[in-house]
Structure 1
């Protein structure tokens, strides 16, 4: 690849996942597809050295340091995958999927394997849909 060719955000995410250990990569790809299939207004990119997902639609102006557009940033560890919702505390999650009580308002959803991804797919999509409805558009 020439140095002048810049990969698209989607290509960068695909390349990042392709570099992971294959079984781990399959789990990350499954989570990626669940998130992207939730809404046509979700985009993806590499942020903080990991795949991240954000709202692409119109929003009222805000301070970029508030990360209001960011839905999920993945935090990858060999034995667990953390989905960090920077503003997850605003979602009234009664399912128990979102964990943590952080002062900055973030919440986490933790997945250990493909079985958990499949069993929590609907919960994850529901939380994303609620999050999008709560946006200041």
Structure 2
């Protein structure tokens, strides 16, 4: 018997993220906008929407059935609660085995973090960020 696949129904909402970004009052708004463009350009299967009160990036293609509490679709969740940096949370970042230095932390749940304090840091880490997204997609259980 073939494994059942699940297809997202309107998970991506770039228009909603655009509205969020227009209203966002954050000293590093330009950094978040640049990160958004980099992440979305990494692969056509990446979409975005607002989840956990910030832009989140997810795989929008078909996937095998899974427990929604595993959040397997999510590549990155942004965190804008600190004013001195934009934090990107990779819920399954440990699976990426990043050797570039982009991802940090050793959380038991497998998440890893990337920190961006200014546009220079965005430029310096752009390729590592794209590679992390592509690596995650390559190991995703679709």
Fold similarity call, TM over 0.5 = yes
**Greater relative contact order (Cα < 8 A, sep 6+):** 2
5 Å-filtered alignment, 1:1-137, equals: 9-21=13-25, 24-76=28-80, 77-137=82-142
Gaps of 5+ in 1: 1-7
Question: In the aligned structure 2, how far is the partner of 1:62 from the partner of 1:53?
Answer: 18
How much has 1:12 moved relative to structure 2? Answer: 1.3
Question: In the aligned structure 2, how far is the partner of 1:21 from the partner of 1:116?
Answer: 21
Gaps of 5+ in 2: 1-11
Partner of 1:5: none
Q: Please state whether the residue corresponding to 2:58 is helix, strand or coil.
A: strand
Question: In the aligned structure 2, how far is the partner of 1:74 from the partner of 1:66?
Answer: 18
Question: In the aligned structure 1, how far is the partner of 2:29 from the partner of 2:98?
Answer: 28
Q: Taking structure 2 as the reference length, what is the TM-score of the superposition?
A: 0.87
Residue correspondences, number: 130
Q: Taking structure 1 as the reference length, what is the TM-score of the superposition?
A: 0.90
Question: In the aligned structure 2, how far is the partner of 1:11 from the partner of 1:23?
Answer: 22
